[in-house]
Amino acid sequence: MDAAERLFAVHGLAAVSSRQISEAAGQGNNAAVGYHFGSKTGLIRTMISRSDGPIEQIRERLLAEVAGSDDVRDWVGCLVYPVTEYLASLGTPSWHARFVAQVMTDPVLREAVSAAAVDRPPLRRTLDELGRRLPELPRDVRQERDDMARLLIVHTCAERERALAEGTSALHPAWRHTAVSLTDAITGLLLAPVTPPPRTGSKENPS
């Protein structure tokens, strides 16, 4: 799994074969991926799930710390900080965030991973508590902003991980600073005003 994570992070999911993974892991049996995981997709699902436990343990701790808070930012932090704290624990270089970003650009895997994620009790509670503290929004607007927030977390963390691994980061080196910036940005996104739809008969600005 470690060899696969590195290869997927650098080259993408489609470009890496099961044979390459076996060779990178020093396995004499080129069918090792199929033997242990059934398929490359089975391997990817297992790789995603192995980080769930540590991340959700962190989330449980944060949920206990903010229990009863009505501050939207506290609940957004329960989405962001478990991810960045886990990534910080991996050291540098790491490949997990970039691997996750690859998975989330695959429509089939993204759907499966997202569905499994919201079934985890700590994350489900975080989303429920956050939802209770957000202003009432049209359903499609809320869904769109939820998708934007997820993309911000996934791809900001992936880019941060890449920059740290390559030594090209011009910003602060601590993952906690990334968490603070992400939490600020997502809080603003979720609380932003909604532009009303154009009146019937009016022309939309094509720009």
Q: Are 42 and 81 members of one domain?
A: no
Is residue 204 a part of any domain in this protein?
no
Q: What is the mean pLDDT of each run of 10 residues along the chain (207 residues)?
A: 94 91 80 83 89 95 97 98 97 95 90 84 96 94 95 96 86 87 98 88 57
Q: Are 35 and 85 members of one domain?
A: no
Q: Do 103 and 48 contact (CB within 8 A), yes or no?
A: yes
Is residue 111 a part of any domain in this protein?
yes
Is residue 199 a part of any domain in this protein?
no
Phi, psi of 133 (to 5 degrees): -105, 0
Q: Do 159 and 171 contact (CB within 8 A), yes or no?
A: no
Is residue 207 a part of any domain in this protein?
no
Enter the pTM of the model. 0.89
Domain that holds residue 41: 1-50
Fill in the amino acid letter for 117.
A
Q: Are 29 and 87 members of one domain?
A: no
Q: Are 163 and 102 members of one domain?
A: yes
Is residue 163 a part of any domain in this protein?
yes
What domain count does the chain have?
A: 2
Q: Are 86 and 124 members of one domain?
A: yes
Q: Do 117 and 154 contact (CB within 8 A), yes or no?
A: no
Is residue 169 a part of any domain in this protein?
yes
Q: Are 66 and 101 members of one domain?
A: yes
Q: Are 73 and 126 members of one domain?
A: yes
Q: Are 27 and 114 members of one domain?
A: no
